[in-house]
């Protein structure tokens, strides 16, 4: 069962499908005429692009939860920070085209009576700086938070609870107008990025392709990390933390590294998400959002990366459909999903698919005996 090739079956299949989507959807959007049955309207393209960002976020969470046992209930915060970093750049790109026509201050600052730009808004007029911050802001938060938490050996549900408290505190903080991030309206009314209008089809297609590439890249980075000895140590930490320590590994350093990388990945997802949906507001920090990410990963199959991405796509697609078709049913469905998946489907959908596939092809291998808890 030890799949030792870098691109194994499940990753290969998923990447191939992703490639088809990456090429096919933009083609169906631009090359086919709107009358054609296969035409993908631009709003649909952006919607799928948004799903791909969620999938990347799920991969990021799977890296820490599936492989290292760190159940972060605050990954939405890293996603939102990446989103805010990008949003701040887009905000400054508006320039004097805002409602108040102030060349430097975004509208909400003029409205709130700011005299000058707060110090932490400087530099965001430069694209490269914003990109750097997309990585640094969530990365730094994860690093500082993790440095404290892992060093003092906060684990299990305790860790989950304080990650939840972290995102809750950020939610409250970003709601405050005094924070300088637009309060509860957040950042919105973006115009263009790098001179390309955000409403043009070309920009939308580019963002879509970038999201798909980021997801593919995230999967490959995750795959690489988990294939190395480092990845095996992570799994060791998940299954028998003290054994890992007694072998001489500094567990906190391993956790810190993967937590920070994961947070950055989530930040990238957030940064690609914001220009496609056109807004970022404090609601992204809400604890409920972060827990929802967990169900994506659990449903897809944790500890597989591909499963996490798959789970995100399934759940958000189901959500879009249900909330418009049966608005009241969505929370029931989501709630049931949480319960049923944890009790009956610990390996997730991917585990189920692979089990079915294996069952048809051959008898179960003798070594696939379940590890006892």
Q: Which of positions 310-329 make contact with other proteins (CB under 8 A)? A: 328
Asked if residue 99 binds other proteins (CB under 8 A), the reply is: no
Asked if residue 245 binds other proteins (CB under 8 A), the reply is: yes
Give the number of other CB atoms < 10 A from CB of residue 243. 11
By CB under 8 A, the residues from 143 to 172 that bind other proteins are 145, 148-149, 151-154, 156-158, 160-162, 164-166, 168-169, 172
Enter the tokens of residue 90: 């887009």
Q: Which of 343, 360, 361, 362 binds other proteins (CB under 8 A)?
A: 343
Minimum distance, C-beta of residue 340 to other proteins, in the bound complex (Å)? 8
CB 38 within 8 A of CB 28: yes
**Which C-beta is closer to other proteins: that of 44 or that of 144?**
144
Asked if residue 115 binds other proteins (CB under 8 A), the reply is: no
By CB under 8 A, the residues from 28 to 67 that bind other proteins are none
**Which C-beta is closer to other proteins: that of 126 or that of 157?**
157
Q: Does residue 156 come out as left (phi exceeding 0), alpha (psi in the -120 to 50 range) or beta?
A: left
Instruction: Show the binding pattern over residues 277-306: x = contacts other proteins (CB under 8 A), - = does not.
Output: ----------xx--x--xx--x--------
Asked if residue 335 binds other proteins (CB under 8 A), the reply is: yes
**Which C-beta is closer to other proteins: that of 134 or that of 298?**
298
**Which C-beta is closer to other proteins: that of 19 or that of 172?**
172
- Region binding other proteins by CB under 8 A among candidate stretches 25-33, 90-98, 118-126, 251-259: 251-259
Q: Which of 248, 325, 362, 363 binds other proteins (CB under 8 A)?
A: 248
Asked if residue 105 binds other proteins (CB under 8 A), the reply is: no
**Which C-beta is closer to other proteins: that of 197 or that of 228?**
228
Classify residue 150 by burial, with Cβ atoms within 10 Å: 0-12, 13-18, 19+. buried
Three-state SS letters, the chain = CCCCCCCCHHHHHHHHHHHHHHHHHHHHHHCCCCCCCCCCCHHHHHHHHHHHHHHHHHHHHHHHHHHHCCCCCCHHHHHHHHHHHHHHHHHHHHHHHCCCCCCCCCHHHHHCCCCCCCHHHCCCCCHHHHHHHHHHHHHHHHHHHHHHHHHCCCCHHHHHHHHHHHHHHHHHHHHCHHHCCCHHHCEECCCEECCEECCCHHHHHHHHHHHHHHHHHHHHHHHHHHHCHHHHHHHHHHHCHHHHHHCCCCHHHHHHHHHHHHHHHHHHHHHHHHHHHCEECHHHHCHHHHHHHHHHHHHHCCCCCHHHHHHHHHHHHHHHHHHHHCCCHHHHHHHHHHHHHHHHCCCHHHHHHHHHHHHHHCCCCHHHCCCCC
Minimum distance, C-beta of residue 283 to other proteins, in the bound complex (Å)? 14
- Region binding other proteins by CB under 8 A among candidate stretches 38-46, 50-58, 244-252, 314-322: 244-252
**Which C-beta is closer to other proteins: that of 149 or that of 205?**
149
Q: Which of 7, 235, 318, 352 binds other proteins (CB under 8 A)?
A: 235
Minimum distance, C-beta of residue 348 to other proteins, in the bound complex (Å)? 12
Give the integer Cα–Cα distance in Å for 43 and 73. 30
Q: Which of 181, 254, 285, 296 binds other proteins (CB under 8 A)?
A: 254
Asked if residue 232 binds other proteins (CB under 8 A), the reply is: yes
By CB under 8 A, the residues from 119 to 148 that bind other proteins are 145, 148
By CB under 8 A, the residues from 168 to 207 that bind other proteins are 168-169, 172-173, 175-176
Minimum distance, C-beta of residue 331 to other proteins, in the bound complex (Å)? 4
């Amino acid at each position: 069962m030890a799949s030792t090739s870098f691109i194994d079956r499940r990753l290969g299949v998923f990447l191939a499908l992703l490639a088809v989507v990456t090429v096919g959807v933009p083609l169906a959007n631009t090359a086919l005429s709107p009358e054609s049955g296969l035409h993908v309207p631009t709003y649909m393209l952006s919607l799928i692009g948004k799903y791909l960002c969620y999938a990347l976020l799920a991969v990021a969470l799977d890296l820490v939860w599936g492989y290292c046992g760190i159940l972060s209930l605050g990954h939405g915060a890293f996603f939102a920070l990446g989103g805010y970093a990008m949003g701040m750049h887009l905000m400054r790109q508006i320039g004097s085209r805002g409602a108040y026509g102030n060349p430097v201050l975004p509208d909400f600052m003029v409205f709130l009576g700011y005299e000058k730009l707060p110090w932490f808004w400087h530099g965001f007029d430069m694209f490269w700086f914003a990109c750097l911050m997309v990585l640094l802001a969530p990365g730094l938060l994860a690093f500082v938070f993790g440095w404290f938490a892992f060093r003092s050996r906060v684990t299990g549900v305790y860790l989950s609870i304080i990650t939840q408290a972290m995102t809750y505190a950020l939610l409250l903080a970003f709601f405050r107008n005094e924070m300088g991030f637009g309060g509860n309206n957040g950042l919105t009314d973006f115009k263009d990025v790098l001179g390309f209008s955000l409403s043009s089809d070309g920009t939308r297609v580019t963002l879509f392709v970038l999201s798909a590439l980021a997801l593919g890249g995230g999967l490959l980075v995750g795959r690489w990390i988990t294939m190395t000895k480092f990845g095996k140590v992570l799994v060791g930490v998940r299954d028998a933390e003290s054994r890992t320590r007694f072998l001489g590994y500094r567990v906190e350093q391993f956790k810190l590294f993967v937590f920070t990388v994961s947070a950055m990945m989530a930040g990238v997802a957030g940064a690609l998400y914001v220009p496609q949906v056109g807004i970022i507001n404090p609601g992204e920090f809400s604890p409920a959002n972060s827990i929802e990410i967990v169900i994506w990963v659990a449903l897809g199959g944790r500890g597989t990366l591909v499963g996490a991405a798959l789970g995100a796509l399934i759940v958000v697609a189901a959500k879009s459909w249900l909330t418009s078709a049966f608005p009241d049913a969505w929370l029931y469905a989501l709630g049931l999903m949480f319960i049923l998946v944890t009790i009956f489907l610990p390996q997730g959908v991917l585990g189920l698919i692979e089990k079915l596939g294996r069952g048809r092809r051959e008898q179960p291998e003798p070594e696939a005996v379940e590890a006892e808890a």
